[in-house]
Structure 1
Amino acid sequence: MSDCTVVCEGLRKVFAGADGRPFDAVHDLTFSLKRGTISALVGPDGAGKTTLMRMVSGLLKPDGGSLEVLGTDVAADPQAVQNRISYMPQRFGLYEDLSVQENLDLYADLHGVPQEVRAERFRRMLEMTDMARFTARAAGNLSGGMKQKLGLACTLVRVPDLLLLDEPSVGVDPLSRRDLWEIIEQLIASDGLSVLVSTAYMDEAGRCDDVLVMDHGRLLAQDRPQAITARAAGLTYRVTPEPGTPARDLQARLIDAPERVVDAVPRGGAVRFIRQSDCPADGMADLLQGRPVEPRGEELEDAFMLLLRQHDAPKPNAPRDAAIPEIRLAAKEDAAGEAVIHVRDLVRRFGDFTAVANTSFDVRRGEIFGLLGPNGAGKTTTFRMLCGLLPATSGTLEVAGVNLRRARSEARRKIGYVAQKFSLYANLTVRENLEFFGGAYGLRGTVLKQRVHAILDQFGLDGAAASGALPHGYKQRLAMAAGLVHAPEILFLDEPTSGIDPLARRAFWRTITSLSQSGVTVIVTTHFMEEAEYCDRIAIQDAGRMLALGTPRQVREQAGGESVDDMNQAFIAIVEQGRVKGRSAA
């Protein structure tokens, strides 16, 4: 028996592009995966990760090369492979009208799990996912994290020889991510599972035995996480911004110099950056402006960004290569610092359930304010009330000087909203989408035409392009442009970077920094805790209650003092502390 679960040589998959011309989604892949290991598949959007997963699972037929899974030629006998694997795609098919138990029963039926082993298998899955209390609850009423855990349990109602997980932690909070990985690691230890997982989180990839880095359908590297991380040795630094200057402003200056800086990201009140290998260490004085710099240990994400930059093949209009748009909106500098959102004792109930309980805070003009919390914490409900999409049960809520409980439509004209799924009309052109959204916000005639022309120019968009055919990065840019076409005072962003890679997240936040500098107030929800470092202040909610409110530094100090410089750790500590207090008070 081979000691490999997957062996591919010269693997290729061709699709038709938006212009009708063929392109290689997967190009000449050659690699193998050992039994009893967990391998991570990482890469930017469009790298070919999901296409590769679907070929390994037998759902797509290769167009070239060879692919063996568990010793079987997948192209020749896909059913034989599918009988021995379990595959959890990004959008796992839970039946939301069925209960947790009914979903488990259904997938056990589909996989032909014998009746005599089901009870023990279900007990184990429910115990590992901590869902034994919720077997009667409809899947549609679960939080995002619980849905992912139920999807994993349904995937594992039988014990597979190979488990395929396509970004299982997208859209879930750090606590739920931690729980998912504990389940996966328990199964590897107890059942000797072999696992191939794709992920947008480099900390998850670092927990694996093997990491495969893909881009543009090609394999850039395959090695142990430590070996890949070592590629960035000697190139990583930490710099502290001037007192009173947001770290994101210094970060923006660094990433605007790609000939010298590979990557930069705020962390712990400072900026962590990677120097280009051909740029001398003393060749960055003008960028750093005398700020104290110290070397730091390299991380897997540093090496990942370095690999992408080294192998980046420039393509016309590719989202990663397009210039960051310069946002030019009228700022109200004379009113800087005033509260544009005023929330006092906000409550929202759904029947007997209190989703938000007595929440109070203010947001100042030009501030980037992060609203964070675990799945099911009440942050989305709070967010929707702030946007005027959901009425409050009680309390005071004012946005841009308008009382939302009395004049929601008037307030909505002063805000922009970018949903997680972008809400674009794929059958309309870029210009038609902007004209539609501008009209919805009350723009007409010459004013509408002028704003659309200006926003097309500012965001570097082709008005005649078909929206549905745009690359993901440009769809994101169009969604942002649609939310800003009416020059709002406040922009709401609902998990705008969910499921996108670090490269795209950097470009997105560079745009947000530019917006803030122009005077726009930004309210953002996110499950990427690193993004909290871009915010001026953040609020953490759980079970409808406010657990923390302050600057990132203040929140880290609340979590555990100066020793906590990682926002993931701070978030988990604060939520767990809040839950202990909640149980004690009950």
Structure 2
Amino acid sequence: MVNAGSPAALACHGLGKTFSSGSRVIQALDGIDLTVTPGRITGLIGPDGAGKTTLMRLAAGLLRADAGELRVLDLDVSREPLAVQSVIGYMPQRFGLYEDLSVQENLDLYADLQGVLAVERRGRYAELLHMVGLARFTARLAGRLSGGMKQKLGLACTLVRPPRLLLLDEPTVGVDPVSRRELWAIVQRLVREEGVSVLLSTAYLDEAERCDEVILLHQGRLLGQGTPASFSEPLTGRCYLVNAPTIPKRRLQMRLTALPAVADAIIQGESVRVVARAVGPLDLSSLDAGPAGVEIRPVVPNFEDAFIIRLQGEHDATTEESPPLPMAATMANDDAAVIRVDRVQRRFGEFYAVKDVSFEVRRGEIFGLLGANGAGKSTTFRMLCGLLPASGGQLEVAGHDLRHAAAQARGRIGYMAQRFSLYGNLTVAQNLRFFASAYGLTGQRRRERIRWALDGFDLERYADMASGDLPLGYKQRLAMAAALMHEPDILFLDEPTSGVDPLARREFWHRINLLAEQGVTVLVTTHFMDEANYCDRLVIMADGEVLAQGTPAETKARFRDAERSDPTMEDAFIALIEQRAQTAGEPA
């Protein structure tokens, strides 16, 4: 419980911060005025490059502001950074776990760094390990933990000394829905039971709905602050779910997006969610949906609707549609299987990362590979790209058996790795030139493709910046541009939108849909369950095995019951994982 006279968790007035990159000056924060109420969860929301991480690093005393005043728990950060650091906890996007140390050794190290007395540690450790569910894993090396477990260990290390203000910079990026739910339960418990104030940035806009208050930043400026409902309520009467039985939902979404009356359209379940540009009846007669017509149902607006519409109005370049990716002349239009996986295994010593996995992917299909952290998705990807040999089974890509013709197969595919895998010390432009040359592009064609990448992925303004210094979302854009440089007819995307803001995710999926429409085969992994609805078919994996396979509608239908008449993909995913855990006799 917070007293009425408690100081603000964070308050700033006229806060400004600039950075220099080459000859350019970047205004990361521009005259920010805001107050964070104590004892609540406040969401810090904004697109890539909005200034969220800069604000958190200033609040943690790791950067010095160029202008204005910043106070944390009534302490002047510029004058008393050490005092501020003694009362806050800060978990950055990439928390510094030591992967060669065990869970217990990481806790001990952070307790030493934070000056926690030995007599206080045993009780605090027990409490934290129980809270994050790692009590059984204290001897395991941090490097052997799944992504979700690493995030929970990072949070535990941050909390070794109880903070009054907890700064969490995108703590759920790259973790599966089960781990995301668990992390949120931990954060809510900290606020409810320990009175901790939390400032949390996130790329998941459904998480913004869970916050008590939201701060919206864009290009270093404050666009608004209030409850999530205060942002969404002005869109009342403008939001709909649209179905057209004769038009596939992915194609329907693309056609709706092109209509002048539509401000935004995304796939939601088996429908398309539309935000109209104005209040009033939505006229979709131009869709020409045949005798079955179009079904339109009004729905209540949510925070994501409000975020997208607000950002569209602020978007400086109004996002020109990039030209479709031209395909190789030899690409066939049939729906033959171009990827075959038959009882594939991958062992690391006695450990099976992938065990008897089988599926096929047809030409022009978007095929989803879903699973909890450590399920074997990335290992499967690496085998399909010829980067890792299978221990058993058959792998065939573009008609090539990967046991004998991996190099020929690699020439037909594009691959975007889960972790940023380009050259961090090279600039964006240098990376693009390198990959264009590596794929054999020369002369005018090479120049055209580099220009296409810079324009189509909004990378021109970062062209001379070291790629390792890019905001996370722009790293993802650069990685995808490099994967498409040679116009592959099979594309492997491993978490392509992890950490990317919703505007950029829409652009990514618009491009992926265009590629599929032109016959490109796409195999994609994602932790955004709403993105699974863009897939034609998918498999869900756990512990290296396939739990379910089919269309998104078939997968969700398995878990339709009296309590869940219209289950989401997240409902289905969590239910499958929980069933698996119950069968194995382990906690979910």
State the Cα distance separating 1:240 from its structure 2 match: 1.0
Amino acid at match of 1:102: E
1:427 Cα offset (Å): 6.0
Residue 4 of structure 2 is aligned to residue 10 of structure 1? no
CA distance in 2, matches of 1:330, 1:451: 14
Q: Tell me the equivalent position of 1:222.
A: 225
| Residues 552 and 331 (structure 1), Cα distance of their counterparts in 2 relative to 1, 3 Å cut | farther
Gap runs ≥5 in structure 1 = none
Which aligned pairs between 1:161-560 and structure 2 lie closer than 5 A? 161-243=164-246, 245-257=247-259, 260-277=261-278, 281-287=281-287, 289=289, 290-310=293-313, 312-315=314-317, 321-330=319-328, 334-425=332-423, 433-441=431-439, 443=440, 448-449=442-443, 451-456=445-450, 458-459=452-453, 460=455, 465-466=463-464, 468=466, 476-560=476-560
Distance 2:395 2:39 in 1: 54
Matches of 1:336 and 1:430 in 2, distance apart?
Answer: 37
Contact (CA 8 Å) 1:372, 1:526: kept in 2 or not?
A: yes
SS at match of 1:519: coil
Q: Is the 8 A contact 2:16 2:32 kept in 1?
A: yes
Change (3 A) 1:390 1:531: same
Aligned equivalents of 2:364 and 2:262: distance in 1? 28
- Alpha carbons of 1:256 and 1:339: their partners in 2 closer, same or farther (altered >3 Å)? same
Q: Cα deviation per residue 1:440-461 (whole Å; 9 max; x = unaligned)? A: 34x3xxx643542453465436
Amino acid at match of 1:4: A
Between 521-530 and 329-338, report the one with greater CA deviation.
Answer: 329-338
Q: Give the residue type in structure 1 aligned to 2:509.
A: W
Q: How far does residue 13 in structure 1 lie from its aligned partner after superposition? A: 1.3
Q: Distance in 2 between matches of 1:432 and 1:499?
A: 24
How far apart are residue 434 of structure 1 and its match?
A: 4.4
Match of 2:565 among 543, 563, 576: 563
SS at match of 2:443: helix
Match of 1:578 in 2: 580
Cα distance in structure 2, aligned partners of 1:185 and 1:13: 31
Deviates more, 1:403-412 or 1:390-399: 403-412
Secondary structure of the corresponding residue to residue 198 of structure 2: strand
Q: Distance in 2 between matches of 1:156 and 1:139?
A: 17
- Range that drifts further, 333-342 or 6-15: 333-342
Shift of 1:68: 1.3
CA contact (8 A) 1:455 1:481 kept: no
Distance 1:518 1:12, change over 3 A: same
Q: Structure 1 pair 582/98, CA: closer, same or farther in 2 (3 Å)?
A: same
CA-to-aligned-CA distance 1:521-577 (integer Å, 9 cap, x gap): 011111111111111111100011101111110111123367234211121111112
Query: 1:121–1:157: 8 Å Cα contact kept in structure 2?
Result: yes
Task: Indicate the residue corresponding to 2:44 in structure 1.
Answer: 41
Q: In 1, Cα distance between the equivalents of 2:22 and 2:272? A: 39
Structure 1 length normalisation: TM-score? 0.92
Contact 1:327 1:458 (8 Å CA) reproduced: no
Instruction: Indicate whether 1:57 and 2:60 are aligned.
Output: yes
What are structure 2's unaligned runs of at least 5 residues? none
- Alpha-carbon separation, structure 2, partners of 1:248 and 1:69: 47
Aligned to 1:77: 80
Q: CA RMSD in A?
A: 2.4
C-alpha separation in 2, matches of 1:275 and 1:380: 39
Structure 2 vs 1, CA of residues 467 and 48 (structure 1 numbering), >3 Å: closer, same or farther? Answer: closer
Residue 342 of structure 1 contacts residue 362 of structure 1 at CA under 8 Å; is this kept in 2? yes
Q: CA deviation at 1:489?
A: 2.2
Q: Mark the CA change 1:458 to 1:3 in structure 2 (over 3 Å): closer, same or farther.
A: closer
1:266 touches 1:272 (CA, 8 Å); kept in 2? Answer: yes
Question: Matched residues in 2 for 1:499 and 1:141: separation?
Answer: 23
State the identity as a percent: 52
Note the C-alpha offset of 1:263.
Answer: 1.8
Aligned residues: 571
Q: Distance in 1 between matches of 2:272 and 2:97?
A: 41
TM-superposed CA distance for 1:262, in Å, is 2.5
Question: What amino acid sits opposite 2:243 in the alignment?
Answer: T
2: CA distance between counterparts of 1:466 and 1:212?
A: 31
Contact 1:418-1:494 within 8 A present in 2 as well: yes
Native 8 Å contact 1:330 1:519 kept in 2: no
1:254, distance to aligned residue in structure 2 (A): 2.7
After TM superposition, give the deviation of residue 144 of structure 1 in Å: 0.7
User: 1:429, 1:61 → 2: CA distance?
Assistant: 26
Indicate the larger mover: 468-477 or 39-48.
Answer: 468-477
Residue 110, structure 1, aligned to residue 108, structure 2:
no
Task: Report the alpha carbon displacement of residue 34 of structure 1 after superposing the two structures with TM.
Answer: 1.6
Q: Which amino acid aligns with 1:307?
A: R
Separation in 2, partners of 1:262, 1:525: 28
